[in-house]
Amino acid sequence: MTLLRNTCFATAAAVALTVGFAANPALSAQVDDREHGWCNVVTNIQPENVIRSSSGKAVIQDSSYPCEPQMAEEPEPEPEAPESFVVYFDFDRSNIRPDAAETLVDVLETAEMEDVDGYALTGHTDTVGTAEYNMALSLRRAESVRDWLVDRGVPSDEISVAGRGFSEPAVPTGPDVREQLNRRVEIVFQ
């Protein structure tokens, strides 16, 4: 018995096989076309199953039926990205603004609900000024957020601090561009 995966190919093969019926009347094939939505498509290519269409071509009578819906395997869930928050700063400043303080209160509340083990603080700047100056400013911003959290009870050994200067902008700009969204500290739970 021959297993054929494509009904177009199977039909062509069946027509070609009909020539062999004279020599071997028990010749048969099993057709399975799951790729096109048909399951257990079985055609025993016996002389009585091959008929002629109105165009004179050989056509196979078959017993095909649609596939039963198969349950797809559940994909592995993507690991959740650590929760993160962003606080913004005024130009050339590292003090905590009132809107930043509101975000930091949300950080503390969320950390309490999620039993957070640590905080990674990364400071950033816009592109105004030298690379050295902005690296120091980004670090001061991250330290300012750390101090705010420590003042409210977060142990300092649970907080890591880093500065990136203007090397990782949230909004790419040219040099010497004041961009509010780049003057930030990103807070990621660990």
Q: Measure CA 52 to chain center.
A: 52
Residue 36 pLDDT: 57
Separation CA 95–CA 34 (nearest Å): 64
H-helix or E-strand spanning residue 137: helix 131-151
Length of the chain: 190
Domain with CATH 3.30.1330.60 in the chain: 84-189
pLDDT digit of tens for each residue in the chain (190 aa)?
Answer: 444 444 444 444 444 444 444 445 454 444 445 555 555 544 455 556 555 556 665 555 555 555 555 666 778 877 665 679 999 999 999 999 999 999 999 999 999 998 899 999 999 999 999 999 999 999 999 999 999 999 999 999 999 999 999 999 999 999 999 999 999 999 999 8
Q: Computed over its alpha carbons, how large is the radius of gyration of the chain?
A: 35
**pLDDT, position 121:** 98
- Rounded to a whole number of angstroms, the distance between the first and last alpha carbons of the chain is 60
pLDDT score for 2: 43
Fold for 84-189, please state it. 60s Ribosomal Protein L30; Chain: A; (3.30.1330)
Residue 156 pLDDT: 97
DSSP string, 31-81: E--GGGTEES-EE---GGGEEE-TTS-EEE----EEPPPPPPPPPPPPPPP
Q: Are 99 and 86 in contact (CB under 8 A)?
A: no
pLDDT score, position 97 = 97
Distance CA 142, CA 128 (A): 18
What span, in angstroms and rounded, lies between the C-alpha atoms of 148 and 81?
24
86 in helix, strand or coil?
Answer: strand
What whole-number distance in Å separates Cα of residue 35 and Cα of residue 67? 10
